[in-house]
Amino acid sequence: MKNQNKSARPKKSLSPAPSISVSENRGCHYGVHLDDAGIRLDRWFKRHHPSLPHALLAKLARTGRLRVDGRRVKLGDAVEAGQTISLPSLVESPRPQPHPISLGDENRLRDWVFYRDDAILALNKPSGLATQGGSKITRHIDGWLDGLRFGSAQRPRLVHRLDRDTSGVLIIGRTASAAAALAKAFHRRIVRKLYWALVCRPPDPSCGRMDRPLVKYGQPGQQRVVTGVEGHRAVTLYRTVETVSKRAAWLALEPLTGRTHQLRVHCAEQGCPIQGDQKYGDTTLFLGGSIAAKLHLHARALIVPHPDGGLLRLYAPLNDHMAASWRMLGFDSETALADFEPP
């Protein structure tokens, strides 16, 4: 195990990370456990005390009332095992407990694992299952991660996410240090991602670059993403692999940024909405017959720096409804990977 507790000196009275100690004068003190080593301070609070507002924590850090081992810190600083996080006495609502995973769901979850080593798990996430919880979402990958311990003392951690209706490669860190390294790689945009999509109308031109800024609007739970000059830059490379007359095309998409719903909005703005996209697509263009009206977007492959060195290439087979559409349209799913290799 790479992360070790380097401090053997006695600590002040510490409460376990998932709980909170409250006193009138002495404040709250938390010990950083080994499985949290290497994560940012703001993410530590989001993991263990999500009801504490980010703005409040930022103010406490800015005024020196949030400290680690007695030192002033920033919310972006990493914490290490054995350190003590201290802040003034606060009262917060109890953290909701996740629903325990059933034996059936655990078996299904493990069946989705197609790669595993000491640092990384890779799942072929099915369409229709959320990566994380939210309003009225109780079944999600994040809540089931205890089912992916495979004998490890540490609970695996998400390092990125896929939309609920998008299937494909989902990487999970098995240790705190691996998760931190993977999250850093995603943040630095050195992870290459390849998606496959079935679109309702071939794009013109057949390959190129979609470079349109995106912005969210609307209330949480009802948000939409649109293009707009005030938005964040979003860039997608695309290539047409095969077409069916002028009615449909198989696209290979490589997002260079990771904005919410980026591929779905970019394809719709390019005039080639994704089949089954009920939010951004055009239902009058949807392919009928035996082609499912479900979202046809699949995270087919990732090339990611492995925490232990080298590059790891991961390829996830198509989900059931997309595989059926590929067979129906005569697409050969073995032909589209040649262009997805490091330059």
Tokens representing residue 326 in the block: 């590929």
The model's pTM: 0.74
Give pLDDT, residue 98. 53
Question: What's the Cα-to-Cα distance from 85 to each of 42, 65, 82, 252, rounded to whole Å?
Answer: 12, 11, 10, 46
| Residue 24: pLDDT over 50 | no
Burial class (CB in 10 A: 0-12, 13-18, 19+), 106: middle
| Contact by Cβ (8 Å): 254, 237 | yes
pLDDT band of 177, cuts 50, 70, 90: confident
Question: What percentage of the chain has pLDDT greater than the value 70?
Answer: 85
Please determine, for residue 201, whether its predicted confidence score (pLDDT) is greater than 70.
Answer: yes
Is residue 163 part of the annotated active site? The answer reads: yes
Residue range 124-132: mean pLDDT, rounded: 93
pLDDT of 121 higher than 90: yes
Considering the candidates 42, 118, 142, 163, report the single residue annotated as catalytic: 163
Average pLDDT over every residue of 251-255 = 96
Q: Higher pLDDT residue, 258 or 338? A: 258
pLDDT for position 220: 62
Whether pLDDT at 10 is above 70: no
Q: Tokens 């409804």 correspond to what residue?
A: 321
Q: How far apart are CA 198 and CA 300, in angstroms?
A: 13
| Higher pLDDT pick, 92 / 43 | 43
Would you state the structure tokens that stand for residue 59, as one six-digit string?
């103010």
- Compute how many other C-beta atoms are within 10 angstroms of the C-beta atom of residue 339: 12
Tens digit of pLDDT for each residue in 56-94? 999 999 999 999 988 999 999 998 877 889 988 765 544
Tell me which DSSP letter residue 339 carries: T
**238 or 7, greater pLDDT:** 238
Cα 123 to Cα 105: distance, rounded to the nearest angstrom:
14
